[in-house]
Amino acid sequence: MGIVVVWIVSVIIFTVSRIGPDPALMIASPGADEAELKAIHERFGLDKPWVVQYVIFLGNALRGNFGESVYYGLPVAEILWQRIPNTIYLVGAAQLIALGIGVSAGVLGARRRGEWMDNLVRWFSLTGLSMPNFWIAMLMILIFSVTLRVLPTGGSGTIWHLIMPAFSLGWYFSAGYTRITYSSMFQVLNSEYIKMCRIKGLSEFSIVAKHALKNALIPIVTLAGMNLVIMVSSAVAIETVFSWPGVGLLMYHGAVYRDFNIAQAVVLFISVSMVMMNSVYERRKEIRTLSMVGLNPTHIGLIFVAEAIIDRSI
C-alpha cells in the first residue's frame, strides 16, 4: 500500500510541476530566441511527451537520480543530501523542546487539576494549537532580534541560530503534547495501582516520577514518532522565515524559481519518509499485540518472515 501511495504522489507532483509557464523561460536569459529555448527543452527533456517524461523521471528516481537543478545547476540528489542533515538537526531540536514543554506542562496541569496551574495549562494548549508557527517565528524575530538584539535573525552555523527556528517549529507540537500528557496523566493518577501506592505511603514525587509518568508517556512516545515526519513538512515555513538551509527552504526555492526537479525530489522524500514511519508504527503495534499474547521475540520474527514470503508469493 505504501508503494502505491508514493506512486500516486509522484504522478501528482510530476503533473503539477509542469502546470504553468514554461520552465525554460525561467532558465533562459532575457530576450532568449527560439534556438536557446529549444536547447533548454532538449537539455531537461521537456521536448518529449508527458508520458515519456514521466517514465524517464520514474526510472531515474528509482536509481536515486532526480536530474539537474534548474536554479542551482547541480545534481538534485547532491543538493538534497547536503540539506537533509540541517533539517534533521532542526527537527531534532524542535522535538526536544516540544517534548520538554509539553510533558512538563501536562504533568503539572494533571497534578494541579482545578487550580490556577490547571487553567494556565489548558490556556496554553488551546492558544498553542491556534497560533501558526510562522507567526510565532516572526514574533520572535521582532522581540529577540529587532528589539532586544540578542539572537540572529536567520542563517545557521551556531547554536544561537538554532534557538528561534527550533522553538518556533516546536511550539505547535508542544501544545499537542501538553493535551495528550494532561489527559493520559489524569487517567493514570486516578487508576487503582496509583491509589495503592498512596496507601503504601510513597511520596507524591515518587508516585508521579517512577510509577505514573512511565505509563502516561506511552501515547506520547507513539505520537512523537509520527510527528517527526510531520515536522519535516512543517519546517518549510520556518526554514524560509529564518533562511535555515534545510529541505524546507529547498522546497520553497523549488516552488519560487520553478525548479521542478527540486520540487519533485523534496516531495518524494517527504512522502517516502511518512510511508516508512507509518510502516514502522504499524509494525510496532503488531509487535506489542503479539507480545501481549505471550509470544517471544523469536516467534514474532518468524511470523513477520512468513508474512513477507506469503506477500512475495502472491
At 99-142, the pLDDT tens digits run 999 988 888 888 887 788 878 888 888 888 888 888 999 999 99
- Does residue 255 share a domain with residue 130? yes
Q: Is residue 71 a part of any domain in this protein?
A: no
- Does residue 52 share a domain with residue 153? no
User: Residue 195 is placed in which grid cell?
Assistant: 491509589
Q: Roughly what angle, to the nearest 10 degrees, separates helices 297-313 and 260-292?
A: 130
Q: Which domain holds residue 17?
A: 2-62
Check which CATH number belongs to the domain holding 253 and give it. 1.10.3720.10
Round to whole Å and give the CA distance between 215 and 188: 7
In terms of pTM, does the model score above 0.85?
no
* pLDDT tens per residue, range 19-59: 766 777 767 667 677 787 788 777 777 778 878 888 888 88
Q: Is residue 267 a part of any domain in this protein?
A: no
Residue 301's pLDDT is what?
A: 47
Once rounded to an integer, what is the mean pLDDT over residues 65-83?
A: 85
CA angle at 133 for the pair 183 and 257, rounded to the nearest 5°: 140
Round to whole Å and give the CA distance between 56 and 190: 60
- Does residue 243 share a domain with residue 94? yes
Q: Is residue 308 a part of any domain in this protein?
A: no
- Does residue 170 share a domain with residue 117? yes
- The number of distinct structural domains making up the chain is 2
Q: Is residue 293 a part of any domain in this protein?
A: no
- Does residue 253 share a domain with residue 110? yes
Q: Is residue 229 a part of any domain in this protein?
A: yes
- Does residue 45 share a domain with residue 171? no
134-139: long-range contacts at Cβ-Cβ below 8 A with a sequence spacing of 24 or more?
134/168, 134/237, 134/238, 134/241, 136/167, 136/168, 136/171, 136/172, 137/164, 137/165, 137/168, 137/237, 137/238, 137/241, 137/242, 138/241
- Does residue 83 share a domain with residue 16? no
- Does residue 113 share a domain with residue 29? no
- Does residue 125 share a domain with residue 10? no
- Does residue 49 share a domain with residue 156? no
Q: Is residue 292 a part of any domain in this protein?
A: no
* pLDDT tens per residue, range 233-262: 788 889 999 989 988 888 888 888 878 888
